[in-house]
Structure 1
Amino acid sequence: MSVFRSLPMLLVMGIIFFLSQQSGTTLAIPQIYGLDKCLHMLAYGTLAATVIYAVPAHAFHNRNPWKTRMLILLFCVFYGMTDEFHQSFIPGRDVSFFDLLADAAGAGIVLLLEQMPWVRERIMLHR
């Protein structure tokens, strides 16, 4: 993993950390049912996309490319777990298993989309 290609991933991780650092009253998220889960999916889907960008292309062409994808998913879920733990110390925030599920779903959807031939072709053009 090159440092340059890791910068977007580190930026997304920093943004997620910054947002989880905010108290529950500081974040002005409209009270729309399910919106918070959609935002979790978006954040962790973006994280998964930046991890895919950071991982060398040959990791997806080895004997078992699903191993690479599973490691990316585990990385994103682990970061989500640390984020939920971190939120337990922030006033107005709490730990939510459903937030963690939304994190995993967002990362998983991106990893499944990466499998689509038309998506993969565009990714390979930029590697």
Structure 2
Amino acid sequence: MMRLVDFLGLLSYCLFIYGLSDQASLSAPMWFDHQDKIYHAGAYFVMALLAWRCLRHWLNVPIILALLSVTLCSLYGISDEWHQSFVDGRSADIADWMADTAGAGLAMFGLSRLGKRNRTA
């Protein structure tokens, strides 16, 4: 049952991001340049955690689990940027994809640090 719940959580989040990407423009307050990269990293940080939760039911090798989570998020980020290239008012941006991948990587780095801390405690 938890496998299904975790999968549906990840799928729902991916659909949420797709819905945001399908909008012609998003209005968010901008206080500094490249602030949108923080939004991208934050969104894919969450996606990586959801991917990790979903994949952990099938994988128990931490490094493989982390790398696969980041890879899946990065691939979704590429597909999201490609999708945006077809949306009026939007464009594909490699820097956005890099921020997506960095956010996913930070999530897995954070999980690895928590795992190490819990093993030594």
Whether contact under 8 Å (2:52, 2:65) holds in the other structure is: no
Q: Name the TM-score, length of structure 1 as normaliser.
A: 0.82
Whether contact under 8 Å (1:44, 1:103) holds in the other structure is: yes
In structure 2, the partner of 1:41 is: 41
Displacement after TM superposition at 1:93 (Å): 0.6
Q: Which runs of 5+ in 2 are unaligned?
A: none
How far apart in 1 are the matches of 2:15 and 2:53?
A: 17
Q: 1:58 to 1:92 in 2, by over 3 A?
A: closer
Deviations 1:16-52 (A, max 9, x none): 000000002xx11223322210110111001001111
Displacement after TM superposition at 1:66 (Å): 1.3
Q: Name the TM-score, length of structure 2 as normaliser.
A: 0.86
Q: Which runs of 5+ in 1 are unaligned?
A: 122-127
Whether contact under 8 Å (2:56, 2:65) holds in the other structure is: no
Q: Which amino acid aligns with 2:99?
A: A
Whether contact under 8 Å (2:3, 2:57) holds in the other structure is: no
How far apart in 1 are the matches of 2:117 and 2:17?
A: 26
1:2 maps to 2:3: yes
In structure 2, the partner of 1:80 is: 77
Displacement after TM superposition at 1:68 (Å): 2.0
Of 81, 89, 92, 1:92 maps to: 89
5 Å matches for 1:60-79? Answer: 60=60, 62=61, 65-79=62-76
**How much identity, in percent, do the aligned residues show?**
31
How far apart in 1 are the matches of 2:117 and 2:83?
A: 34
Whether contact under 8 Å (1:22, 1:90) holds in the other structure is: yes
Number of aligned residue pairs: give it.
Answer: 116
Question: Residue 30 of structure 1 aligns to a residue in which SS?
Answer: coil
Whether contact under 8 Å (1:114, 1:120) holds in the other structure is: no
* Runs of 4+ that moved beyond 6 A: none
What's the Cα RMSD here? 2.0
How far apart in 1 are the matches of 2:114 and 2:83?
A: 38
